[in-house]
Amino acid sequence: MTFDRVVRGGMLVTPEGVRPGTLGIRDGRIAAVAPPEAELDREVVSGRIWDATGLHVLPGAIDIHCHIRSPAYPERGTVASETSACAAGGITTVFEMPITDPCCNSPERVAVRRDHFAEHARVDFALYAAPADLTLPAFEALAAAGVVALKIFTIPAPVGREHEFEGLAWPDAADQLRALELAARVGLPVVVHAEHPEILARASSEAAGLDSGSAATHEAARPALAEATAVAQLLTLNRTAHARLHVAHVTSRATLDVLRRYAGSSDFSAETCPQYLRHTVDDVERVGVCGKVNPPIRTAADRDALWEALADGTLAHVTTDHTSFSPEEKARHEGDFLGAPPGHSGTEVLLPTLLDGVAEGKLTMPQVAERASSAAARRFGLDRRGAIAEGMRADLVMVDLAGSTAPTESNLRTAARRVARLAHGQRYRGRVAGTLLAGVPVFDGTEVVATPGVGRFVRPRLEGTAS
């Protein structure tokens, strides 16, 4: 057997555990997983050997929650810039959310975005859609268009951004139930931004009388109670709807308690993000509105509970919720937490955050592979991704546990580098030392070497539909 590339000398993080080994890659797939003494490099095209000595080799991360927004808002970043950041962050497949102008809520808009991303992407991508029309034919058409899942919000669209949220915002519980039922019929997962609209409205009106210059005011305006209440309602609805339900960006201990109480009651999963695992509201207070995200970053007790939930599997996924706003858009609202646009970059700190957790003894390397990659491939029906095994796509990330990551305004690749202020000055133990997409290097440890357009559109395999 001959190989197009060989990865040798590394510690392989496989479903069976961590062990030294050599990988032979052919036609974009892992063709051989061999012991370290196997001399696969005798049978490789000359020079195409990746020396992973001293490194761990993981399946490429699959980020199921990202907001690039392109082709709208190029000042916030482009597909080329943000997928460059993905490659440098060890993310080989990225799921793009539908919030943009116009909102991605029809097969025609899915096709426009698919073609635009295919032209510029440096890693593979999948697309979400908003279910603008709660009818079976509309859901069937979105499934046929190849979307990976549907996204909904349980709160109204933000004032002034209604066009970006057209078909996304379903604050009425009966509409949420209908969306879940229809998604179950066509086999698509539903990913939900869960905050309870009435609890949020009361908290927001109370917070309007507080100091908007404080991050604590933003946290008070969107309390953990709003998240936990919305999640409890959704999980109750899903006992009837039988959808594949996924709860986005869990931030609080209160919501973890709800998730545990509903365990086994329906087919649901949940995620958190690096900003909630790394930071507290005090950090947001320190960096200003650049650190504002929705839902808010909360207390040290919440942060610690999220790590425990990641370790015990209550949270099966870690995603970035990468959201880029321009420095001007953030600066316009400096000192105004209630008015500032929410979002922070996460693409280049996803793996470093988890690797730092490994250094702290909070997670194991197989858990990192599972939470950042394998679980996403299974949950969203991506065939042959998310594991190091023969026959899988050779989407791989090499990480150096002895190295470190220290993001700055200048060394981040995202267009949001100047506003990624939570990450500035942080030092994470662990470093992404190289990324392969279908066996081809897209990040060599120093430079992004992928050309735009190398990333492919990923369609999910839809599971059997409910009756």
Least distance (Å) between residue 97 CB and Zn ion: 6
* Token duo for residue 108: 């025609």
Query: In what helix (H) or strand (E) does residue 260 lie, and over which residues does it extend?
Result: helix 253-261
* Token duo for residue 443: 């990040």
Binding residues for Zn ion restricted to 117-176, rule: CB under 5 A: none
Q: Could you tell me which residues come within 8 angstroms of residue 241 by beta carbon, excluding any fewer than 6 positions away?
A: 177, 180, 181, 183, 184, 266
Q: Which is nearer to Zn ion, 192 or 438 (CB)?
A: 192
* Token duo for residue 262: 């509903």
Least distance (Å) between residue 262 CB and Zn ion: 22
Which stretch in 125-133, 195-203, 250-258, 315-323 sits in contact with Zn ion by CB under 5 A? 315-323
Q: Which is nearer to Zn ion, 41 or 321 (CB)?
A: 321
Burial of 224 (0-12, 13-18, 19+ CB in 10 A): buried
CA–CA dist 435, 38 (Å, integer):
23
Least distance (Å) between residue 294 CB and Zn ion: 8
CB 25 within 8 A of CB 45: no
* Token duo for residue 72: 């709208």
Least distance (Å) between residue 219 CB and Zn ion: 18
* Token duo for residue 149: 């899942």
Q: Which is nearer to Zn ion, 154 or 367 (CB)?
A: 154
Q: Which is nearer to Zn ion, 321 or 348 (CB)?
A: 321
Q: Could you tell me which residues come within 8 angstroms of residue 450 by beta carbon, excluding any fewer than 6 positions away?
A: 83, 84, 87, 122, 123, 437, 440, 441, 442, 443
Q: Which is nearer to Zn ion, 322 or 417 (CB)?
A: 322
Binding residues for Zn ion restricted to 30-69, rule: CB under 5 A: none
Least distance (Å) between residue 379 CB and Zn ion: 17
Q: How many other C-beta atoms lie within 10 A of the C-beta of residue 53?
A: 9
Binding residues for Zn ion restricted to 316-345, rule: CB under 5 A: 321
Least distance (Å) between residue 286 CB and Zn ion: 23
Q: Which is nearer to Zn ion, 171 or 295 (CB)?
A: 295
Q: Which is nearer to Zn ion, 4 or 321 (CB)?
A: 321
Binding residues for Zn ion restricted to 427-446, rule: CB under 5 A: none
Q: Which is nearer to Zn ion, 181 or 321 (CB)?
A: 321
Least distance (Å) between residue 65 CB and Zn ion: 6
CB 217 within 8 A of CB 243: no
CB 77 within 8 A of CB 414: yes
Q: Which is nearer to Zn ion, 89 or 430 (CB)?
A: 89
Q: Could you tell me which residues come within 8 angstroms of residue 447 by beta carbon, excluding any fewer than 6 positions away?
A: none
Least distance (Å) between residue 321 CB and Zn ion: 4
Least distance (Å) between residue 174 CB and Zn ion: 24
Q: Which is nearer to Zn ion, 114 or 151 (CB)?
A: 151
Q: Which is nearer to Zn ion, 321 or 395 (CB)?
A: 321
Question: Token match 């109670």: residue?
Answer: 225
Which stretch in 112-120, 164-172, 314-322, 368-376 sits in contact with Zn ion by CB under 5 A? 314-322
CA–CA dist 112, 70 (Å, integer):
11
CA–CA dist 180, 467 (Å, integer):
13
Total residues at interface with Zn ion (CB under 5 A) = 1
Least distance (Å) between residue 94 CB and Zn ion: 13
Least distance (Å) between residue 313 CB and Zn ion: 22
Q: What angle do CA 338, 342, 343 make, to 5 degrees?
A: 155
User: What pairing do the DSSP bridges indicate for beta strands 5-14 and 17-26?
Assistant: antiparallel
Strands (E) across 2-75 are located at 5-14, 17-26, 29-34, 49-51, 56-59, 61-67
Binding residues for Zn ion restricted to 228-287, rule: CB under 5 A: none
Give strand pairing partners of 344.
322
For Zn ion, the nearest residue by Cβ is: 321
Binding region for Zn ion (CB under 5 A): 321
